[in-house]
């Protein structure tokens, strides 16, 4: 009961004191608000980037492995990777035949070419040759028309399936199905369109044209390394599938037992690990700057509270002489510091998250505003006020009533 009375009375006196010194309160609030705004803007942008990157990784397939000549993240000598033997159609067929975990195997070979439809064109479009397993491996879906099958590949048919960026550019007001498009020196008939996937690492996955694998080789040549996409039943089977694929590929490529793998098995998690390493240090530095700014704001609160204690020494003496306990004085000054800090935290939270959202609107950087972040901003600011207000509060409570009454 006494504690409740102390808190209520302390709150009333603290608010009265803050109203009496509006300019001082405003300056202190601005100081702590800038710190919170800086910290939460960083958190908002970072959370948005993490969410966006997680969605991008999902687009690669949660149950897919990619066998390639070199790893996605190259930590060694790039010349060594470049000089490795190419992966071929025979390797893809070997994986399809020998892997007990693979539910789909799609060889993929790509090059960039200009794509034309009448007077419209699109430069540097990824032209990928693949097979009917491509959809299951990559998670793409057909939105209109059909995908090409084994018969199209066997007969080297000149049929094409378009990504949505290509559809938007070449067919803004017309139906692409059945339309003739020119790729290099050949004309292809559009038989289908793919679902939209968006970007990954700022590279569009929708700026693509798919054609049958052997059609691609007949037009652009077979002297290039391919990638082999392997889909497994569940994400839990990825580790076992990867171990099996290592053995299969070493056998197919006749890699000696004493030699390292001359191929790479890539997984989306590898990109996630690299992303975390790259952003972890940057995030730490940015958050450190935010905390330093908050520290400066906290020191400002402590300084203002010490000034307040000195100015109100006689008032403290009167209250102590009339029976106020030390605990009551401590509660009053702590609440005063926490109130200033919490108000600054609320303003800083609004500014910080608003700034993060503005950044996401005018730049490619994403921002996510989570409810927990709002409570964190206000609560953390109040905690800063508590920490930096304790010493001035205890100093006020330790004043001798007689000496305080004599203070002018």
- The b/e string for 334-358 (b: 16+ C-beta within 10 A; e otherwise) is bbbbbbbbbbbbbbbbbbbbbbbbe
pLDDT-derived band at 278, boundaries 50, 70, 90: low
What are the E-state strand segments in 185-344?
186-194, 199-200, 203-204, 208-212, 227-232, 264-266
107 neighbors 92 (Cβ within 8 angstroms): yes
Please give the C-alpha separations between residue 397 and each of 217, 326, 391, in angstroms, as whole numbers.
86, 5, 10
Instruction: Give the pairing type, strands 142-145 and 186-194.
Output: antiparallel
β-strand partners of 130: 212
Helix, strand, coil percentages for the chain (3-state, nearest 5): 60, 15, 25
Mean pLDDT of 115-143: 93
pLDDT-derived band at 389, boundaries 50, 70, 90: confident
Measured between alpha carbons, how far is 369 from 44 in angstroms, rounded to an integer?
6
Domain ranges of the chain: 2-56+272-406, 85-262
Of the given ranges (64-78, 82-96, 313-327), which has the lowest mean pLDDT?
313-327
What would the two tokens of residue 175 be?
A: 């139906």
**Residue 207 scores a pLDDT above 60:** yes
Say what the pLDDT of residue 253 is: 92
All residues at 6 or more sequence positions from 245 whose CB lies less than 8 Å from its CB, including other chains: 65, 67, 95, 99, 230, 265
- The b/e string for 192-225 (b: 16+ C-beta within 10 A; e otherwise) is bbbebbeebeeebbbbbbbbbbbbbbebbeeebb
- The b/e string for 362-381 (b: 16+ C-beta within 10 A; e otherwise) is eeeebbbbeeebbebbbebb
Mean pLDDT of 116-140: 93
Residue 162 phi, psi (nearest 5): -105, 140
Mean pLDDT of 302-326: 74
Identify which has the larger pLDDT, 331 or 10.
331
352 neighbors 268 (Cβ within 8 angstroms): no
- The b/e string for 171-186 (b: 16+ C-beta within 10 A; e otherwise) is beeeebeebebebeee
Measured between alpha carbons, how far is 158 from 155 in angstroms, rounded to an integer?
9
Q: pLDDT for 231-254, tens place per residue?
A: 998 888 888 999 999 999 999 999
**Residue 1 scores a pLDDT above 50:** no
Which of 187-201, 286-300, 358-372 is the most confident on average? Answer: 187-201
Mean pLDDT of 141-158: 94
Q: pLDDT for 59-68, tens place per residue?
A: 666 688 999 9
Residue 132 phi, psi (nearest 5): -65, -15
DSSP 19-50: HHTHHHHHHHHHHHHHHHHHHHHHHHHHHHHH
All residues at 6 or more sequence positions from 260 whose CB lies less than 8 Å from its CB, including other chains: none
pTM above 0.85, yes or no: no
Say what the pLDDT of residue 406 is: 61
Measured between alpha carbons, how far is 40 from 31 in angstroms, rounded to an integer?
15
């Amino acid at each position: 009961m006494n504690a409740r009375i102390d808190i209520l009375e302390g709150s009333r006196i603290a608010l009265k004191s803050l109203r009496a010194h509006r300019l001082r309160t405003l300056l202190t609030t601005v100081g702590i608000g800038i710190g919170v705004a800086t910290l939460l803007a960083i958190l908002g942008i970072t959370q948005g980037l993490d969410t966006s990157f997680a969605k991008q990784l999902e687009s690669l397939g949660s149950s897919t492995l990619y066998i390639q000549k070199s790893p996605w993240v190259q930590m060694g000598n790039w010349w060594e990777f470049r000089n490795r033997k190419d992966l071929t159609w025979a390797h893809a067929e070997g994986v399809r035949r020998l892997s007990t975990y693979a539910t789909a195997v799609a060889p993929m070979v790509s090059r960039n070419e200009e794509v034309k439809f009448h007077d419209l064109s699109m430069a540097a479009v990824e032209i990928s040759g693949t097979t009917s397993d491509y959809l299951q491996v990559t998670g793409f879906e057909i939105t209109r028309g059909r995908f090409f099958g084994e018969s199209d590949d066997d007969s080297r048919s000149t049929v094409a399936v378009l990504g949505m960026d290509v559809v938007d550019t070449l067919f803004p007001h017309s139906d692409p199905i059945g339309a003739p498009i020119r790729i290099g020196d050949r004309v292809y008939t559009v038989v289908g369109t793919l679902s939209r996937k968006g970007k990954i690492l700022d590279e569009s996955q929708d700026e693509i044209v798919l054609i049958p694998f052997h059609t691609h080789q007949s037009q652009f040549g077979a002297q290039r390394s391919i990638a082999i996409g392997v889909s497994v039943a569940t994400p839990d089977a990825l580790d076992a599938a990867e171990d099996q694929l290592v053995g299969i590929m070493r056998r197919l490529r006749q890699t000696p037992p004493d030699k390292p793998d001359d191929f790479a098995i890539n997984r989306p998690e590898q990109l996630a690990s690299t992303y975390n390493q790259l952003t972890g240090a940057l995030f730490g530095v940015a958050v450190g700057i935010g905390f330093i700014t908050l520290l400066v704001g906290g020191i400002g609160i402590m300084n203002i509270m010490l000034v307040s204690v000195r100015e109100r020494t006689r008032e403290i003496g009167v209250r102590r002489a009339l029976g106020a306990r030390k605990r009551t004085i401590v509660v009053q000054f702590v609440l005063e510091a926490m109130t200033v800090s919490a108000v600054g935290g609320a303003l800083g939270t609004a500014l910080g998250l608003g700034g993060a959202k503005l950044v996401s609107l005018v730049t490619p950087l994403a921002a996510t505003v989570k409810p927990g972040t709002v409570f964190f901003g206000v609560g953390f600011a109040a905690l800063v006020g508590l920490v930096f207000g304790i010493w001035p509060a205890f100093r006020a409570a330790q004043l001798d009533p007689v000496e305080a009454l004599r203070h002018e």
